[in-house]
Structure 1
Amino acid sequence: MNALPIYKIMLASVAFSLTNWKKILEVSILPVLISIPFLAILPDILSIMNSVFSNKEVADIQLPDNMMIYLLLFFYGYLTLSINMYRLVILGQNSVSGIVPVLNFNKIIRFVALTLFIGLVTMAPVIISGIAFLQLIMYFLIIPITLNFINIAIDQPSRYKRNLNFISQANLFFLQIVLPALADMIFSFLVSLTGLPDILGWVVKAIVFYWTLISLALCYQLIVKQNAKA
């Protein structure tokens, strides 16, 4: 198959966002609403994490009330938004509705299982070895597996073998991991350098998040078309 065209996918992602911005806002309403409780306590959680990493006494740490409930609601919002965004890109506007939550039990279990699998595979080597760079290596090795998020969203069976050449896999890794991380780092640096409001940093994180969802679905669409022609 041909290599994934980074520049064209980036442009197509922007074009899709501009064309479908109303539907994107619609499918975001429910996920954002149920995520608000967790987002409200997120500063406290980040402060607790800083305390833990600073080797302070764990016994002195007080977790926010209902944190686990809010975390589950947040993850369900993330799951719902991701699935609807993938369906919007692949199947079109008529396939999603902003007021209907994802209630398909099988779809939810598959999405959660894949998320946990990717998290375990990418973090376990870092935890065992203490070498942070191993996370990037593991992400590169398993990045084709992330295409199964789209299979789950559109009710297709998962595939763990992809006919991707090295350049295509590298481009997919760049689009999904490297480029979003660079965008976040660069803007965070600009915020700290210029004294811009921190809220702008969170706006950029949200934009990057939506962009990664759209670009992954577009990559999936292109890979399927190229494989069909092969």
Structure 2
Amino acid sequence: MHQLPIHKIFVAGFAFATVHWKKILEISIIPVLISLPLLMSAPELIALAKQMFANKLSEPPIFLDNTGLYLALFFYGHLSLSINLYRLVVLGEQSVSILPVLEFAKIARFIGLTLLVGFVSMATLIMNNLLWLSLLISFLVVPITLNFVNIAIGNPIKYRWELSFPAQLNLFFLQVVVPMLIVLLFGSLSRMLALDIGVEWAARVLAFYWSSITLALCYQLITKESQSNT
């Protein structure tokens, strides 16, 4: 892949969301509902996590009784919605429904890839608190994230994508930099203007939908060019 036009993907992403907003809303209903228990307790959990990282707790933290269940439901909702968004972009509206993903093999593969990418990307930040190193690692592994779309549509995982440096850089910008800037911008505005924390969470939701839709669009461009070259 020699190029990945950012401006065209921006336009295509917004156009897709505008045309298919009803279907996006439909496939979001159940994932959002099963994620609500964790989202409603999120402020308390975030405050507790900040205290833990700052070493301000004098005794072991006490979590809510159902925190593990809430996390599992949230993760499943996130996973199911991600898969359906990828399928919606690549395969069309007929490939998804209001029901969440129930295919165990697909779920297991998606979880495995999520843990791999998450661990590789965040390990350096957690251990060394070096944002630049975490971003560098994210740049190196970002082609692997295209396999989320492969899993969603039932294709085998691909280990080599043969992206050019500009294409990989643009993919990194779309998948890492833009979502991060969205969250940072809205988070800063909400704190400056003393707005509700819901503004920052809305930004996170927007970043999630943005990254999911644009990843699938990038996948389409990359695979289409790869097929035309063979």
TM-score where L is the length of structure 2: 0.95
Q: How does 1:68-217 map to 2 (within 5 A)?
A: 68-98=68-98, 100-217=99-216
Matched with 1:21 is 21
Q: Tell me if structure 1 keeps the 8 A contact 2:109–2:151.
A: yes
Render the CA deviation track for 1:147-170: whole Å, top value 9, x for unaligned.
000000000000010020000000
Matched to 1:54, the amino acid is A
Q: Distance in 1 between matches of 2:91 and 2:80?
A: 16
Q: What is the Cα-based RMSD across aligned positions, in Å?
A: 1.3
TM-superposed CA distance for 1:130, in Å, is: 4.2
Aligned partner letter, 2:138 = Y
Matches within 5 A, 1:27-46: 27-46=27-46
- Secondary structure at the counterpart of residue 59 of structure 1: coil
Output the CA distance in 1 between the equivalents of 2:126 and 2:40: 29
Does the 8 A contact of 2:23 with 2:93 survive in 1? yes
Partner amino acid, structure 1, of 2:20:
N
* Aligned residues of 1:150 and 1:220 also touching (Cα < 8 A): yes
TM-fit CA distance, 1:60: 4.6
After TM superposition, give the deviation of residue 171 of structure 1 in Å. Answer: 0.1
**Structure 2 equivalent of residue 50 of structure 1:** 50
Equivalent in the alignment of 2:65: 65
Counterparts of 1:185 and 1:127, CA distance in 2: 19
Match of 1:4 in 2: 4
Aligned residues: 229
Question: What is the TM-score normalised by the length of structure 1?
Answer: 0.95
**Contact 1:111/1:149 (8 A) holds in 2:** yes
Q: Could you report, residue by residue, the CA deviation over 1:176-200 in whole angstroms, capped at 9, with x for unpaired residues? A: 0001111211122222222333322
Query: Is the CA contact (8 Å cut-off) linking 2:187 and 2:199 kept in structure 1?
Result: no
Residue segments in structure 1 that go unaligned for 5+ positions in a row:
none
Alpha-carbon contact 2:2-2:167 (below 8 Å) kept: yes
What fraction of aligned residue pairs are identical, expressed as a percent? 49
How many Å apart are 1:56 and its aligned residue? 2.3
Whole-angstrom distance in 1 between the partners of 2:134 and 2:167: 20
1:34-93 CA-to-partner distances (Å, cap 9, x unmatched) read 001111111111011121123123525211111001100000000100000000000000
Q: What displacement does 1:201 show?
A: 2.3
Q: Secondary structure at the match of 1:62?
A: coil
Contact 2:27/2:100 (CA < 8 Å) preserved in 1? Answer: no
State the distance in 2 between where 1:58 and 1:8 align: 52
2:104 maps to amino acid: F
Cα deviation for residue 119 of structure 1 reads 1.4
Q: Which ranges of structure 2 fall in alignment gaps of 5 or more residues?
A: none
